[in-house]
Amino acid sequence: MLNFCEWLEHTALISTIAGTGWMYATFSVAHYFSLFVLVGTIVFIDLRVLGVAARSQRIATVAEQLFPWTWTALGLALFSGFVMFATDAGDYYPDRIFRIKMTVILLALVFAILVRRNISKWDQAPSTSAGAKMVALVSLLLWVGAILAGVEIAAISGLG
């Protein structure tokens, strides 16, 4: 896999993006902006499930308004993140902190999907169950962990 990462890093398109300041900056801005929207919408929905935000609205109403933004931001974050990864893939792939970040993001996405799939069931109950609140809380904690792991890549590994 490391050979593939090194090959990817040296393809013409990725080398051009990595070597052109405005192109790399464009992908960076798109990545961070999409992460803000992605995490922000998921956090807001999780907070609604926990009963902290938008308590006057049904959970399903909040989710219907925010999930289109969530999934659009996810698509943009995946694309821009892949391009940013590809510019230094040979360095990122073996990095332990990067792998932790990717694992935490994968788990956070699983919990976001769990929340999405159960909203209609949770919304029909007279009150939000402890299990629903636990899923939302774990989702919140995983997103905080993903953000912290992303910050630590540069701090600990010196990458990025």
Percentage of the residues of the chain whose pLDDT score is greater than 90: 50
Tokens of 121: 């069931």
pLDDT less than 70: residues of the chain? 154-155, 157-160
The pLDDT score that the predictor gives to residue 79 is 97
Work out how many domains the chain is built from and give that number.
Answer: 1
Residue 35 belongs to what domain range?
Answer: 2-157
The model's pTM is 0.84
Residue 115 to residue 73: CA distance in whole angstroms: 17
Tokens of 74: 């996810």
The pLDDT score that the predictor gives to residue 108 is 93
DSSP state of 50: T
Q: Where are the alpha helices (DSSP H) in 20-129?
A: 21-49, 59-87, 89-92, 96-124
The pLDDT score that the predictor gives to residue 155 is 67
Residue 51 to residue 62: CA distance in whole angstroms: 12
Is the distance from CB of 139 to CB of 133 less than 8 angstroms? no
The pLDDT score that the predictor gives to residue 128 is 77
The pLDDT score that the predictor gives to residue 159 is 63
